[in-house]
Amino acid sequence: MPTNFTVVPVEARAGRDGAGDDAAERTEAPGIPAGSESERPSSGDGTPRESSPFINNVDGERESYYEGKNMALFEEEMDSNPMVSSLLNKLATYTNLSQGVVEHEEDEDSRRREAKAPRMGTFIGVYLPCLQNILGVILFLRLTWIVGAAGVLESFLIVSMCCTCTLLTAISMSAIATNGVVPAGGSYYMISRSLGPEFGGAVGLCFYLGTTFAGAMYILGTIEIFLTYISPGAAIFHTEAAGGEAAAMLHNMRVYGTCTLALMAVVVFVGVKYVNKLALVFLACVVLSILAIYAGVIKTAFEPPDIPVCLLGNRTLAKRSFDTCAKVRVVNNGSATVTTALWGLFCNGSSPSAACDLYFTQNNVTEIQGIPGVASGVFLENLWSTYSDKGAFVEKEGVPAVPVPDESRASGLPYVLTDIMTYFTLLVGIYFPSVTGIMAGSNRSGDLKDAQKSIPTGTILAIVTTSLIYLSCIVLFGACIEGVVLRDKFGEALQGNLVIGMLAWPSPWVIVIGSFFSTCGAGLQSLTGAPRLLQAIARDGIIPFLQVFGHGKSNGEPTWALLLTALICETGILIASLDSVAPILSMFFLMCYLFVNLACAVQTLLRTPNWRPRFKYYHWTLSFLGMSLCLALMFICSWYYALFAMLIAGCIYKYIEYRGAEKEWGDGIRGLSLNAARYALLRVEHGPPHTKNWRPQVLVMLNLDMEQAVKHPRLLSFTSQLKAGKGLTIVGSVLEGTFLDKHAEAQRAEENIRALMGAEKTKGFCQLVVSSSLRDGTSHLIQSAGLGGMKHNTVLMAWPQAWKQADNPFSWKNFVDTVRDTTAAHQALLVAKNIDAFPQNQERLGEGHIDVWWVVHDGGMLMLLPFLLRQHKVWRKCRMRIFTVAQEDDNSIQMKKDLQMFLYHLRISAEVEVVEMVENDISAFTYEKTLMMEQRSQMLRQMQLSKTEQEREAQLIHDRNTASHTMAATRTQALQTPDKVQMTWTKEKLTAERHRDRGAGSAAGFRELFSLKPDQSNVRRMHTAVKLNGVVLTKSQDAQLVLLNMPGPPKNRQGDENYMEFLEVLTEGLNRVLLVRGGGREVITIYS
């Protein structure tokens, strides 16, 4: 129902200064021409958007327009959201000129005059163009032959199927065309904006190829009319051999067709306005021809024309080489008989005693009326089909004839023979092009006064009109014309006249000349429309290799696209057979109509908020029925042509998906994907996946530098090698600060991460969080990344190399807390150490090993990860080795057998080795390393040094740690005499310590620091780390990758820095290390 608007003026306050100026500004501002608006508005992601006159299109010149105080409350929003008055003004002046319709040769003044001129209505703008495009060459040249071969009933079925298909497509097209403004491009624009760039590009090119081959078909029809019915003597190639007429005719079609194509291309190149001016003439030819057919049918009811057809037995004779339909004729008032020209054709001489053809001798020559008229009752004879093989005689049923055994048909006798094999599906493919052309109205939407009203009304009326014409013509042809004449494709029995022309009144030349000009005009229209369609596709930029065809002459005419169209059209002309070209373009048009129906069905079922067509007489079931009918007709016409057309469309689709430009057109496929994703997420959310379905769904934690660039890009390389595009990948990062302050940096960081993901071919999602602290941001990502059932189960991060540096005091703390978070969330954790030494995706590792050190059971992660890595070509040549550790009381031999059997059941190929670790005393080196570790931690806590002093003290302790294992006596002395330790005290530090009110307590603290004895649990842990590191170095020094169980952090948070030292010692000296910590569940199983 219509919505009522009430415009309420805002009264200015009385006595305001400058009120007149404000009023003047308010009057002038809406009048700013629309041409000053931004030509190509773009969104934040850099993708060009459709030009819109509504939002974000405000000129800087209008700033003074908002200086008044009436709307002061909204003045900060005026830069992005225009006032309603400005919006309505833009809507009133909004124009949508279609591409290629406005003549670029006209100057600006004439363009303005044309824009002000009244636009076309439904009848002129939609109905007549659709009528002209639908009625054409098939009606005049092939419809009588289709009725003769298929019979009235099956012909009625063929026409009904094809017309129903186009009617359902027109209903779907009307819904799409009335759902907003449709620029030029017709079906391409509608499909691409409804189904997305992939479908739009594929179907757009199919529609382009169909239009191009339609041009070839019209040109071949023009040449066939010229050479067969207008001027047969103009043929260049002739043949004397029997049966060679068809081959000579094909050569003539190729020569004349090529010349005609060249001439038409020149006409289109010179100026399209000449083609548009002649369109009315061509339409008049079509209308007059159809009226002449109906007039001729009416005349046959009262006075049937005298058109004799000669039969020999029941076989039809080609009446080109003789006039008299008799073997002999009487001369001299009946006193003598002489042989006729027909006798000479069947006998080897003109004398009555000459040897003649056996069939000619045993059968009589009879003559029947070719067009007996509506009242003759021939309708019942033409009800049923009469299909035949290639080269068969055109025979009349019910006429007595004496058959002749073993007769050769290649004797050059004047029989009417079928030129191709006929069957139902072939006739469907040949007929379908005669119902195409329903897009002519939507292609002119830019020139219509009210496109949303005219397109549905005009198109559906044109389809109903043409369907009635076709169906009535089938009935009338079957009721008026003899069956043998209907099956005579080229009118050979009528002395080479056009069959439908002999039926017309007042003269056959009305049909011949009318059909000639109408087919010629249709060919020009195809050569005009196809290049513009290709230019529209090229300018959309969705297919990179077609970019060159978006350019043309300085006035915008698509020169390069016209050249390509002419070349493709030439391939159709070289086929040279109208009956062979028609099924090809049927495929492309049916493919286009199929996707128009699909677009309407998808939009209707999705119920997207923007789907509000003004045309209400549509339903998704009608669209689905039309889509099914199009698909059925494709395979009915020719299953191999259908598969070939689908293969072409599929290849174009995948090419656009792989190489094409990203476009956001608000298409239905995106909405369909969102609905499918929502449905799948709701299905997946219930419960964790089964062990057989488990795969690492990875959250990759990236660190950024000051420029928001990724510090360790190899982490994404390793992710793509591990995932190979399967499963979920979330690339996360944290920016420290507040979102309002860091919004720009966050956008830049996200763009950098996405660019790196594209370069590393990492398929996944980017999620960046701005948080007050890195610790909180990382925890938020681990908790909330993902959606529903599509959440990560594994966290991948790089080892913090700078955890010992004093200028980064919290890196180790954040790392340990992240380990605790993943453990609490029951997620697996992968920590890559020396990540910058990991291979890139382009590298290929040669012979080498992936070593797995299986110390504790982690659910099978250590087994699964090498298997997944070896699926990638970087690691494919590496062999897998599994080491496990045996204690003194373990049976290492039995352990190895059990492990080999376990791997066998897991279907994993790997070498197995059991390493025995015997108990021995804790070495002095281990004791020293533990002591230095604890001293460093205690000292940093007590002294609370500044950043610079922390670095100095850390370096001092590191030096002492390195040299401590040389002499135990020196170590004992140093510990007992802390006064002799050369600490890096500054003068200011010493002064501050002297004046600090701590006194004896401080001295006691330092004495406690240097009299520390290492904690026994720490000594044991350090012993394990040193011992295991030595074993790993011995076995896996040269391995390409080492996977190790990652021990958990201590429960007491006071020892977090000690935990980092343990991990450092455990992995010391190894090149590439992946520390693995399971998520608390089994991830691999031996069961199928």
606-617 CB burial, b ≥16 within 10 A, e <16: bebeebebebee
Confidence of residue 16 (pLDDT cuts 50, 70, 90): very low
Give the pLDDT of residue 448.
Answer: 76
Window from 105-119, 187-201, 269-283, 832-846 with minimum mean pLDDT: 105-119
Task: Find the mean pLDDT for residues 256-275.
Answer: 88
Task: Find the mean pLDDT for residues 486-514.
Answer: 91
Give the pLDDT confidence of 976-1021 residue by residue, as tens digits: 433 333 334 444 544 454 455 444 444 444 444 444 555 666 777 7
Give the pLDDT of residue 289.
Answer: 93
Give the pLDDT of residue 623.
Answer: 95
Give the pLDDT confidence of 289-338 residue by residue, as tens digits: 999 999 999 999 888 888 999 999 899 998 888 888 888 888 777 667 88
Give the pLDDT of residue 1087.
Answer: 67
Portion of the chain with pLDDT greater than 70, in percent? 74
User: What CA–CA distance (Å, rounded) separates 430 from 988?
Assistant: 101
Contacts of 4-10 with CB under 8 Å at 24 or more apart are 10/70, 10/71
- Residue pair 40/48 in contact by the 8 Å Cβ criterion: yes
**Above 70 in pLDDT, residue 238?**
yes
Give the pLDDT of residue 547.
Answer: 84
- Residue pair 149/387 in contact by the 8 Å Cβ criterion: yes
Is 788 strand, coil or helix?
coil
Q: What is the dihedral of CA 567, 572, 576, 581, to 10 degrees?
A: -170
Q: In what order do the strands lie in the sheet with 698-702?
A: 765-771, 729-736, 698-702, 794-798, 828-833, 1073-1077, 1041-1045, 849-854, 879-886, 911-916
User: What CA–CA distance (Å, rounded) separates 125 from 119?
Assistant: 9
Window from 8-22, 49-63, 942-956, 972-986 with minimum mean pLDDT: 972-986
User: What CA–CA distance (Å, rounded) separates 428 from 162?
Assistant: 8
User: What CA–CA distance (Å, rounded) separates 559 from 269?
Assistant: 7
Give the pLDDT of residue 22.
Answer: 46
Window from 2-11, 183-192, 744-753, 1051-1060 with minimum mean pLDDT: 2-11
**Above 50 in pLDDT, residue 38?**
no
User: What CA–CA distance (Å, rounded) separates 540 from 660?
Assistant: 10
Give the pLDDT of residue 34.
Answer: 40
Give the pLDDT of residue 734.
Answer: 93
Give the pLDDT of residue 897.
Answer: 86
Portion of the chain with pLDDT greater than 90, in percent? 26
Give the pLDDT confidence of 88-145 residue by residue, as tens digits: 555 454 333 333 333 343 444 444 444 444 467 888 888 888 888 898 889 999 999 9
Task: Find the mean pLDDT for residues 184-206.
Answer: 75
**Above 80 in pLDDT, residue 671?**
no
User: What CA–CA distance (Å, rounded) separates 1028 from 1068?
Assistant: 11
- Give whichever of 28-32, 69-73, 716-720, 934-938 has the largest mean pLDDT: 716-720
Give the pLDDT confidence of 414-446 residue by residue, as tens digits: 889 898 999 999 999 999 999 988 887 777 666
Which residues share a beta bridge with 16? Answer: none
Give the pLDDT of residue 669.
Answer: 67
Task: Find the mean pLDDT for residues 893-911.
Answer: 85
**Run of H or E including 491:** none
- Residue pair 467/165 in contact by the 8 Å Cβ criterion: no
pTM value is 0.69
Mean of all residue pLDDT scores within the chain: 78
Tokens representing residue 824 in the block: 């609490």
Task: Find the mean pLDDT for residues 937-953.
Answer: 52
Give the pLDDT of residue 809.
Answer: 54
Task: Find the mean pLDDT for residues 885-894.
Answer: 78
**Above 80 in pLDDT, residue 53?**
no
Window from 254-258, 785-789, 904-908, 1015-1019 with minimum mean pLDDT: 1015-1019
691-701 CB burial, b ≥16 within 10 A, e <16: eeebbbbbbbb
Task: Find the mean pLDDT for residues 1037-1050.
Answer: 87
Give the pLDDT of residue 159.
Answer: 95
